Structure 1
Amino acid sequence: MSRFALIALILASVSTNAAAQLLLRWAARDGLVPAQSWSPSSFLEFIFRPGIIGGLACYALSVVIWVMVLSRAEVSFAYPFLGLGFVLVTFASAFLLGEAISAQRLAGTALIVLGVAVLARG
């Protein structure tokens, strides 16, 4: 597998993991605890929220892709790319969920990108 294809596979895993985070956050915006006490029906209602199902499906797909990555690359090369998930979630949460990005969070995100770039070149 070419280096380009390997990095594309890594980014696919990172992206699906970030999508899982965003979907779960979207599902959790309505709160975890139901208005009434927990019951089997309220638990099922929670579990079958589209964001929960979608988030768990994205997690599962991310794990499958990640195992494919680990079968082709050293973990010391692939693992630092997971830091890009922080970048994706930071910007997507701002654009899709309306969450604020502080200057401090932006600076930290820039440092993560720089670190991943340094590690990817090695």
Structure 2
Amino acid sequence: MNPLHIGLILLNTLMLVSGQFLWKFGLSRKADPFESLQSIIHLMFSPFILGGLFIYGLATVLWLFILNKVDISIAYPMQSIAYLITVIGAYYIFNEQMSLLKIAGCVVILIGVGMIGLSARYS
């Protein structure tokens, strides 16, 4: 697979994770963001929520370009790297727990993504 395409898939994945982190951060700043319609509307106009939506929009445009250049059977599974980045980021940014099972799951995902990447190289 073209190294540029791999880089674009990784960039797209980082954008998606960044959007999720912005949403999580925006939600964590509100005591009860879903207590009323007014609080939901207020939440939707939070800079963090809007920023996450904007990044997701850009990521979608990039994803359409990627799908035009790369087989979806390769590109989409490679995005599962997002799970690894999210688990690690959640640990460091949001102080979420890290367990042996989470680490083992990340290793399994990494092995699977590596196998899919190799299949693209040898097919």
Specify which of 62, 65, 70 is matched with residue 68 of structure 1: 65
Specify which of 47, 56, 75 is matched with residue 53 of structure 2: 56
Residue 33 (structure 1) shift: 2.0
Residue 27 (structure 1) shift: 1.3
Structure 2 unaligned blocks of 5 or more:
none
1:83-122 matches, within 5 Å, as: 83-122=80-119
Superposition CA RMSD, Å? 1.4
Residue 101 (structure 1) shift: 1.2
Specify which of 44, 47, 58 is matched with residue 47 of structure 1: 44
Q: State, as a whole percentage, how many aligned pairs show the same letter.
A: 26
Residue 9 (structure 1) shift: 0.5
Q: Which amino acid counterpart does residue 73 of structure 1 have in structure 2?
A: V
Residue number in structure 1 paired with 2:10: 11
How does the TM-score come out when normalised to structure 1? 0.88
Whether contact under 8 Å (2:34, 2:40) holds in the other structure is no
**1:33 equivalent in alignment to 2:42:** no
Structure 1 unaligned blocks of 5 or more:
none
Instruction: State how many pairs are aligned.
Output: 117
